[in-house]
């Protein structure tokens, strides 16, 4: 796969939600989210290879220190996958996962190029006013499948901005 910048520029339109992490099995939650992507409307196409996905999952579970020089630093658990989502106009997307709220919740975020304008030189499709309803329908589809506790659709913000996730 080409090592291209999948999304660049901005702003970004994010559709995100929290899933409760009752089992503490991070891999199970990620597998569940990925297994259900074929139920979502519009169609989702994962670009990463199986090997890349497995590497991302492994790194997510291990995590990495926020401050590599401090062994007592917060451990970050995050991963990102490249997607195409087939709205009326096919869009590039990142599907990001991260642990929030002291391992009690997993943030799932779909990030899109959110400018009002297309940027053909970056192969980025913008979001026109009339296309917002497609993202709202996408958000509803996600809720019907994942039955999440809390979710948002916003520019440059995901659901973590609604409250202090350190508690």
Answer yes or no: is 25 within a domain.
Answer: yes
Indicate whether 166 belongs to any domain.
no
Enclosing domain of residue 140:
12-151
pTM assigned to the model = 0.87
pLDDT digits 0-9 by tens, 30-73: 999 999 999 999 999 999 999 999 999 999 888 877 777 877 76
Q: Is residue 2 part of a domain?
A: no
User: What digits encode the pLDDT tens for the residues 89-140?
Assistant: 999 999 999 987 666 788 999 999 999 999 998 889 999 999 999 999 999 9
Is 165 within the bounds of a domain?
no
CA distances from 88 to 8, 76, 85, 117, 133 (A): 21, 36, 9, 16, 11
CATH classification at residue 137: 3.30.530
Q: What is the dihedral of CA 66, 11, 106, 46, to 10 degrees?
A: -110
* Residue 107 located in a structural domain: yes
- Yes or no: say if 107 and 159 are a contact pair by the CB < 8 Å rule: yes
Q: Give the H or E element holding residue 144.
A: helix 132-146
Query: Residue 70: inside a domain, yes or no?
Result: yes
């Amino acid at each position: 796969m080409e090592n291209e910048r999948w999304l660049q520029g901005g702003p970004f339109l994010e559709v995100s939600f929290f899933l409760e992490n009752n089992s503490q099995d991070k891999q199970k939650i990620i597998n569940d989210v990925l297994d259900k992507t074929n139920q979502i409307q519009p169609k989702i196409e994962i670009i990463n290879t199986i090997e890349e996905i497995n590497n991302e999952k492994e790194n997510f579970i291990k995590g990495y220190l926020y401050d590599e020089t401090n062994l007592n630093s917060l451990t970050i658990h995050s991963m990102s996958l490249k997607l195409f989502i087939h709205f009326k106009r096919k869009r590039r997307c990142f599907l990001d996962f991260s642990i929030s709220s002291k391992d009690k919740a997993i943030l799932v975020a779909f990030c899109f190029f959110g400018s009002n304008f297309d940027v053909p030189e970056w192969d980025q499709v913008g979001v026109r006013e009339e296309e917002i309803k497609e993202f709202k329908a996408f958000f509803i589809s996600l809720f019907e499948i994942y039955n999440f506790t809390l979710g948002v659709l916003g520019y440059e913000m995901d659901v973590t901005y609604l409250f202090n996730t350190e508690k």
